[in-house]
Structure 1
Amino acid sequence: MVVVLAAVFGLAIGSFLNVVIHRVPRRLSLSRPPSQCPRCGNPIRPRHNIPVLGWLLLRGRCADCGEPISARYPLVEAGTGLLFAALAWRLQQLDLLSALPAYAWFAAAGVALALIDLDLRKLPNAIVLPSYPVLAVLLTVSALVEQEWWPLARAAIGAVVLFAFYLLLVLVVPGGMGWGDVKLSGLIGGVLAYLSWSALVVGAFGGFLLGAVVGVVVMATGQGGRKTALPFGPFMIAAALLAVFVADPVARAWNSLLSSAGT
């Protein structure tokens, strides 16, 4: 039941994220004007704002002028719904549903930041910086509910350590990554370390692995070269979310490999 409710809530949040992705980087209001067609300017009717279904009912076109509506809108909605459901399922497995609001916030912010970074090569402070106090409060509430304070302390340590690591990278290798990546790293360090040290390690270094793999694919397909700049934020976020699900089996596999090598 929790998983279904999380999916429905995620669909609604995904609809809002489409507004965030378009308006926040342009410093536009999130509430005014209401959603409208960028071509004809007519407002979107309430029934057409239903996540995913609205786009399907319109067959991907504006009801007034017939302008195509990008398929990215329903994909963001559906993707956020699936992500919220998956997080609810995983946290239920870990007996940690009290942390679901925190991870849902991180996932929603992550979806918005990843797509903004892909579009505009930026990670807006308006999303990153407020997420620090919000996640701190939500994780504190989770720790209070669980009566377990070490995960909260571990989250604080993880946030500081990963932020310091990225700060060192940007100082030692100027231009290797942006300051937005540094500010994002603290959020990732906190939410992953709250789960475990292995989640922090897998998520932190998974971003570099994903970036390297995609970089090789880009060069192999002739879409770019060694100097092609790829936004790193989406890799950081994707690896962090994957770590929530795969950190434990990856850690077990690594420990097993080390044990086999030592015998």
Structure 2
Amino acid sequence: MFEIFILIFGLVIGSFLNVCIYRIPLKQTIVTDPSHCVACGKRIKWYDLIPVISYIILGGKCRVCKQKISMKYPLVELFNGAVYLWIYSFYGLSVQFYAFGFLASCLIVISFIDFEHQIIPNGIIIFMMIFGIIFPYFNKSLGYSDAVIGFFAASIPLLIIAILSRGGMGGGDIKLMAVAGLFLGWKLILLALILGCIVGSVIGLALILLKKIQRRDKIPFGPFLATGIFIAMLYGNQILQWYIGMYF
């Protein structure tokens, strides 16, 4: 039963993430303005805001103007709910669950915004940094020294790449890895960087081979870094133990 509660909680938060994904790039408030249809502007009633269920009942269309609602909305809700269950299966109801659930939700918002608009908003980074500074105080297995080193461990190499490539690496990517390092520590954030680069390289190469993009086309790196962070968050220690075990 508790897993069902975690899923519902994740779905509800996922609904709020949709608001963030849509409004933050447009510099609209995510707090005071009520939810409204992006096509006709009509306010959405509370019974049409039930995560996933309302989308199914409405047939994926606005109740007023009948314009199609993007599948992205229920998918984000479902994905966030599934991610919360995933994290709960690893950490139970612990400090790590709340911290990594928060981090994962931020990564979802960042990934969608970066993919659609090629930006990682500073407001989200600052919000993450506040919680990232608080997290080590409650997570005794991490500690502030590990968190501080983690802040610089992956962000400094990316900063060097950005300088040498004259803008080839976005500032948002650098800041993302810095604040994520506060949550993961230096070992896991370096692993996250490596994993993100591998995922980005594989997908980028596949898109080039499929002729979806050209070799010189720019693709947002944030979603790949977010993937690396998420993998390191859940499986990082096992991956490091496996790697070290190959040599010792």
Q: Same fold (TM over 0.5)?
A: yes
Which moves more between the two structures, 73-82 or 125-134?
A: 125-134
Contact 1:101–1:138 at 8 Å: present in 2 too? no
Q: Does 1:78 align with 2:78?
A: yes
What amino acid maps onto 2:228 in structure 1? A
3-state secondary structure, aligned to 1:133: helix
Give the C-alpha shift of residue 211 in structure 1: 0.7
Contact 1:123–1:181 at 8 Å: present in 2 too? yes
Task: Give 1:56's aligned residue.
Answer: 56
Which moves more between the two structures, 24-33 or 215-224?
A: 24-33
Q: Does 1:204 align with 2:193?
A: yes
Rate the CA distance shift 1:130–1:12 in 2: closer, same or farther, 3 A: same
What amino acid maps onto 2:144 in structure 1? L
Residue segments in structure 1 that go unaligned for 5+ positions in a row: none
Rate the CA distance shift 1:191–1:2 in 2: closer, same or farther, 3 A: farther
What amino acid maps onto 2:172 in structure 1? G
Task: Give 1:19's aligned residue.
Answer: 19
Deviations 1:126-156 (A, max 9, x none): 111221012211332233xxxx5x5332122
What percentage of aligned pairs have identical amino acids?
27
Task: Give 2:178's aligned residue.
Answer: 186
Rate the CA distance shift 1:221–1:234 in 2: closer, same or farther, 3 A: same
Rate the CA distance shift 1:219–1:235 in 2: closer, same or farther, 3 A: same
Equivalent positions of 1:49-128 (< 5 A) are 49-92=49-92, 97-128=94-125
Q: Does 1:131 align with 2:119?
A: no
* RMSD of equivalent CA atoms: 1.8
Which moves more between the two structures, 111-120 or 99-108?
A: 99-108
Give the C-alpha shift of residue 31 in structure 1: 3.0
Give the C-alpha shift of residue 104 in structure 1: 1.5
TM-score normalised by L of structure 2: 0.93
Q: Distance in 2 between matches of 1:97 and 1:2?
A: 14
Alignment coverage as a number of residue pairs: 248
TM-score normalised by L of structure 1: 0.88
Q: Does 1:224 align with 2:221?
A: no
Deviations 1:148-200 (A, max 9, x none): 5x53321221112222222112112222211111111112222222xx72x33
Task: Give 1:167's aligned residue.
Answer: 159
Q: Distance in 2 between matches of 1:240 and 1:158?
A: 12
Which moves more between the two structures, 173-182 or 240-249?
A: 240-249
3-state secondary structure, aligned to 2:202: helix
